[in-house]
Amino acid sequence: MKASNPNKYSFSAVEPGSGLKKAMEMKRSEIIAEVSASGLKGRGGAGFPTGVKWNLAAAAQAEQKYIICNADEGEPGTFKDRVLLSDFADLVFEGLTIGGLAIGADKGVVYLRGEYTYLRQHLEAVLRRRREQGLLGENVLGKDGANFDIEIRMGSGAYVCGEETALIESLEGHRGEPRNRPPFPVDTGYFNQPTSVNNVETLAWAACILAKGANWFKKIGTDRSTGLKLFSVSGDVENPGVYEFPMGISVAQLLKEVGGEHAKAVQIGGASGHCIPAVQFERAIAFEDIPTGGSIIVFGPQRDMLDVAKNFMEFFVEESCGQCTPCRIGNVKLLEGVAMLREGRCSMHYIKELRLLGETMQVAAKCGLGQSSSNAFLSIVENFKDEIMGRASQPA
């Protein structure tokens, strides 16, 4: 594994512990107000305002509450959480501690994907040190009644467990099948108690926001998408890796920074995201334009977009939990459609049918996986018609 250079991220400029220290001097409502004021939105991709989520969890009445760090980073093309957990584990745990104190949870759980088992030893060592330093456990930083501890739980190789209710099902010892929402986890979550589920990166930014103030974060980015964001860049670029950019950066600008100007298309948001053709490279990466959890996969001029569609659809056919019909059957039909296109025997009529199916899945599937699994297919069919239709037969 390549060594990374932590110094290139803003996280390294934040003094470890300073955010938590400030949070300890604040009331719970003040912590949440600070995070709300920063405009921080969930960095996993869905973009739900973190302050609102914490506020709902804080307002819920219960004896026991939980906060969960979603480290089930499974979206194709995403690896920023791996870098964060390797290089800035303290900051992530600090954010989790702050969140726990803010919502009134004394227990935090890190749900780490099974594929990242090699990170566990390091993370357990950081947790042990934090307990010794009095940053975890009873009376955090000597404050009476501020109890908080963190447990690491491992996933077992299921992409769908990155969906928050499936993650909770998995923690409870069940198949990772998403629940109906509502009720939302902030109300009825882990063991039916109020639970806030936050992405690794969200928690790290929350710690930074407490340390440096909401205004610092708010000044960066756009009105509706504030702050900085980590991007996992891979594919046909000169310098793949994890980059930090302000929200609202245009696709063209980002490609210039990473050495991928010659791209013909960029997949933004992973397999469940959208495929953006070169003519749209002036669009902004932000929640109001192209939302993303940070996955940027760049396709050079030589790439066959049907290979890409095939790879993504195979992914979803395998990772669908099978609970609801639109996702279980729909993805299989879309994959068959890709095969027909590859063989050059797909009528325009049938393409229209498949698009209707994809759009139906977006509204009819039960969880985020099924609702977004047709995105890549639809955007490739929409944007690369002349490339994919009427082809000479190709083995499926």
Partner 1 sequence: MIQTEQEKLRDEIVALAERYGRNRGALIPILQEIQKKRFQISDFAMQLIADMLDIHPVEVYSVISFYSFLDFAPKGKFVIRLCRTISCDMQGKERVARQLENDLGINFGETTPDGKFTLEWANCLGMCDQGPAMLINDRVFTEVTPEKIHEILEECRGTFGIFSVENQEGRSA
Tokens of 265: 């298309």
Figure out which of the listed residues 60, 158, 208, 388 binds partner 1, where binding follows CB under 8 A: 158
Nearer Cβ to partner 1, position 255 or 308? Answer: 308
| Contact mark string toward partner 1, 205..244, x via CB under 8 A | ---------------------------xxxxx---xxx--
The strand pairing partners of 111, in sequence order, are 70, 153
Sites for partner 1 among residues 313-332 (CB under 8 A)? 314-315, 318-319, 321
The strand pairing partners of 36, in sequence order, are none
Nearer Cβ to partner 1, position 79 or 205? Answer: 79
Beta strand pairing status for 149-154 and 228-235? unpaired
CB of 172 to partner 1, least distance (A): 6
Count of CB atoms within 10 A of residue 279's CB? 8
Which class for 166: exposed (0-12), middle (13-18), buried (19 or more C-beta within 10 A)?
buried
CB of 56 to partner 1, least distance (A): 24
Figure out which of the listed residues 39, 51, 100, 176 binds partner 1, where binding follows CB under 8 A: 176
> Collapsing DSSP states into helix, strand and coil, what is residue 108?
strand
What strands, in cross-sheet order, belong to the sheet with 295-299? 241-246, 228-235, 295-299, 265-268, 274-277
Number of shown-chain residues binding partner 1 (CB under 8 A): 54
| Contact mark string toward partner 1, 74..113, x via CB under 8 A | xxxxxx-xx------------------------------x
CB of 188 to partner 1, least distance (A): 16
Q: Is 153 in the site for partner 1 (CB under 8 A)?
A: yes
Beta strand pairing status for 265-268 and 295-299? antiparallel
With tokens 């994809």, the residue in question is 358
Figure out which of the listed residues 110, 220, 286, 297 binds partner 1, where binding follows CB under 8 A: 297
Closest of 296, 298, 207, 299 to residue 243, by C-alpha: 296
DSSP-derived letter for residue 270 is G
Figure out which of the listed residues 29, 133, 156, 360 binds partner 1, where binding follows CB under 8 A: 156
CB of 119 to partner 1, least distance (A): 10
Q: Which stretch binds partner 1 (CB under 8 A): 5-13, 15-23, 152-160, 210-218?
A: 152-160
CB of 3 to partner 1, least distance (A): 11
Rounded CA-CA distance 375/292 in Å is 13
Rounded CA-CA distance 378/217 in Å is 35
**Residue 342 and residue 384 in contact, taking contact as beta carbons nearer than 8 Å:** no
Figure out which of the listed residues 32, 247, 266, 271 binds partner 1, where binding follows CB under 8 A: 271
Largest pairwise CA distance in the chain: 73
Residues engaged in binding partner 1 (CB under 8 A): 1-2, 73-79, 81-82, 113-118, 153-154, 156-159, 170-177, 191, 232-236, 240-242, 267, 271, 297, 299, 303, 307-308, 311-312, 314-315, 318-319, 321
